Amino acid sequence: MIKGKPACYFRRPITDFCEPNPKWQWFEFTADKAVGVVDEQWKAGFFAIRLYVRSVTKEGAFVKPRDSVWSKGFEKRNRGHLIRCAIYQCALLPPADSNGSSDPYVEIWQPEKSRPRTATSCDTNNPIYYELKEFYVEKPRNVPLEEAPPVILNIFDTDEGVFDSDDY
């Protein structure tokens, strides 16, 4: 919900959640275009869930096995992990300016957090950065690092005009 409006949604068939010992899975929200609060799909965000759906009528009451994922419980506090992202260069970027070049920069996307970015390289389609960006991500303790949310790097073109916005 953004400003009281449902901005994004998630839809999957219920049959995707019939495994009694599910792993944490990361899913992407879909921007609700009818509401129009989130204007671009990549801004909708991600969430992690471990879900098991079953029919009590057909299968009886659920009794969690001792070694199941359900016996581990949930962590009350997340731990942060330092991510170091070395950004070296981009090659053959499409031209975004009328002169056939671009003014690109790389931004690291994180939901609802600051977004570290590189310096802007002017008038080039093959920028060289050699920058190291560090940031923390949080993940629950019982989620393996391989199942943590992805690190998303976006490349934008800087536009300097009063009525221009940066191109994606």
Q: What is the pLDDT of residue 163?
A: 47
Gap between the Cα atoms of 108 and 154, Å rounded:
6
Question: What stretch of H or E contains 86?
Answer: strand 79-89
Residue that is written with structure tokens 């929200």 in the block: 29
pTM above the 0.75 mark?
no
Q: How far apart are alpha carbons 121 and 59 in whole angstroms?
A: 61
Amino acid 118: pLDDT? 92
- What is the model's pLDDT at position 111? 63
Rounded Cα distance, 133 and 113, in Å: 14
Cβ neighbours for 42, distance < 8 A, ≥ 6 positions apart: 109, 152, 154, 168
pLDDT at residue 105 in the model: 92
Does residue 37 contact residue 2 with C-beta atoms inside 8 Å?
yes
Overall residue count recorded for the chain in this entry: 168
pLDDT tens by residue, the chain, 168 residues: 566 666 788 888 888 888 877 877 778 888 887 777 777 776 777 777 778 777 777 777 777 666 566 666 655 555 667 788 889 888 888 888 888 888 999 998 876 677 889 999 999 989 999 898 887 777 666 667 677 677 788 888 887 754 455 554
Structure tokens at 167: 């191109």
Q: What is the pLDDT of residue 151?
A: 77
Q: What is the pLDDT of residue 119?
A: 93
